[in-house]
Amino acid sequence: MAHDKTAASTEPLLTSVLDELGRDIISGRLETGQTFTLQSIGERFQISRTVAREAMRALEQLGLVSSSRRVGITVLPRQRWSVFNPTVITWRLQTESERARQLNSLTELRVAVEPIAAYNAATAATPEQRAELKELATTMRELGEHTHGATQDFLEADMRFHSLLLEASGNEMFAMLAPSLMRALYGRTEFGLQPETPASEALDAHEELAQAIARGEAQAAESAARALIGEVRTALVPNQSA
């Protein structure tokens, strides 16, 4: 593995060494309180001390480890994880023992945020945003009714719809949550929880939400968003109890 490089090696590093260490911590294979060293990272992955240090610093920034000269690198408890970071979310989704909990947390966060974002968007959205939301809802309807609900095209339209909803709310903090919340949609598709033919109620709710925002009807937009997230929660319940 060609990890002994500078900034140009960041992506290969993240997709190999960092991903493996991150998933080891998330899954508990590296337990809370366990310690290791830069040397042990280097020996395990056959990488230089410089690259091992880069991996350690990335894990430290994500709240997965702490480091000190006396103790070395220590695995931190869940309470210290940067749980809004998309990388941590992805590792949790990729870890079978964490997946249901992570999807549930993301869905509950959407329940808390998206209806208010929809309410705000009805008055704050630009004409271009209103038009795009309607177009995306139509695209999702067409794909869903042709059994393409679990495809990349549907996922991209769905993620854009909900990201745009947060942006259109005019609340900059809602908009900053988009990368984290969109991992919930990614997770449903990536791990086979998204049906080829989405529930008609979900497709209806996307269209009703887009239309309410286009008309400037805040209460109707909030209600449509609540109905939409309610369908998501219901769809995930069997998988959470599995």
In this structure, the dihedral spanned by the alpha carbons of residues 26, 179, 181 and 163, taken in order and rounded to 10 degrees, is: -170
Is the pLDDT confidence value at 2 over 50? no
Cα 35 from chain centroid (whole Å): 29
Reported as a single tens digit per residue, the pLDDT across 182-203 is: 988 888 888 877 788 888 888 9
Reported as a single tens digit per residue, the pLDDT across 138-148 is: 999 999 999 99
Sequence-separated (6 or more) residues with CB below 8 Å from residue 123? 216, 218
Query: Are 228 and 161 members of one domain?
Result: yes
Least confident span in 45-49, 62-66, 88-92: 45-49
Query: Are 103 and 210 members of one domain?
Result: yes
Question: Are the CB atoms for 196 and 150 separated by under 8 Å?
Answer: yes
Query: Are 72 and 90 members of one domain?
Result: no
Query: Are 63 and 116 members of one domain?
Result: no
Could you tell me which residue, 201 or 210, shows the higher pLDDT? 210
Query: Are 140 and 226 members of one domain?
Result: yes
Least confident span in 43-47, 96-100, 229-233, 235-239: 235-239
CA 171/CA 29 separation, integer angstroms: 39
Work out the average pLDDT over 47-60. 89
Query: Are 229 and 123 members of one domain?
Result: yes
User: Per this entry, what is the length of the chain?
Assistant: 242
* Type of residue at 69: R
- 220 located within any domain: yes
Domain termination residue (choose one: 27, 54, 80): 80
Domain termination residue (choose one: 21, 52, 80): 80
Could you tell me which residue, 142 or 14, shows the higher pLDDT? 142
pLDDT band, very low/low/confident/very high, at 120 (cuts 50, 70, 90): very high
Q: Which helix (H) or strand (E) holds 172?
A: helix 172-176
Reported as a single tens digit per residue, the pLDDT across 37-53 is: 999 998 999 888 888 88
Query: Are 62 and 92 members of one domain?
Result: no
DSSP state of 193: -
Quote the number of domains for the chain. Answer: 2
CA 33/CA 74 separation, integer angstroms: 6
Instruction: Name the pTM for this structure.
Output: 0.85
- % residues pLDDT > 70 (the chain): 90
Query: Are 199 and 121 members of one domain?
Result: yes
Is the pLDDT confidence value at 172 over 80? yes
Q: What is the pLDDT of residue 237?
A: 57
Query: Are 192 and 94 members of one domain?
Result: yes
Angle 173-178-183 from CA coordinates, rounded to 5°: 145
Query: What's 224's domain CATH number?
Result: 1.20.120.530
Domain with 236, as residue range(s), is 86-241
- 2 located within any domain: no
Q: What is the pLDDT of residue 240?
A: 45
Query: Are 72 and 121 members of one domain?
Result: no
- 30 located within any domain: yes
- 176 located within any domain: yes
CA 125/CA 120 separation, integer angstroms: 8
DSSP string, 2-67: ----SGGGHHHHIIIIIHHHHHHHHHTSS-TT-EE-HHHHHHHHT--HHHHHHHHHHHHHTTSEEE
Domain termination residue (choose one: 60, 80, 100): 80
Sequence-separated (6 or more) residues with CB below 8 Å from residue 56? 38, 41, 65, 67, 73
pLDDT band, very low/low/confident/very high, at 149 (cuts 50, 70, 90): confident
Q: What is the pLDDT of residue 231?
A: 77
Is the pLDDT confidence value at 242 over 60? no
Q: What is the pLDDT of residue 3?
A: 42
- % residues pLDDT > 90 (the chain): 71
Give me the chain's average pLDDT, please.
89
Query: Are 152 and 235 members of one domain?
Result: yes
Cα dihedral sign for 24, 29, 32, 37? negative
Of 152, 151, 149, which is closest to residue 206 (Cα–Cα)?
149
- 148 located within any domain: yes
Query: Are 61 and 148 members of one domain?
Result: no
Sequence-separated (6 or more) residues with CB below 8 Å from residue 24? 30
Work out the average pLDDT over 70-78. 95
Give Cα separations from 9 to 13, 61, 137 (angstroms).
6, 18, 39
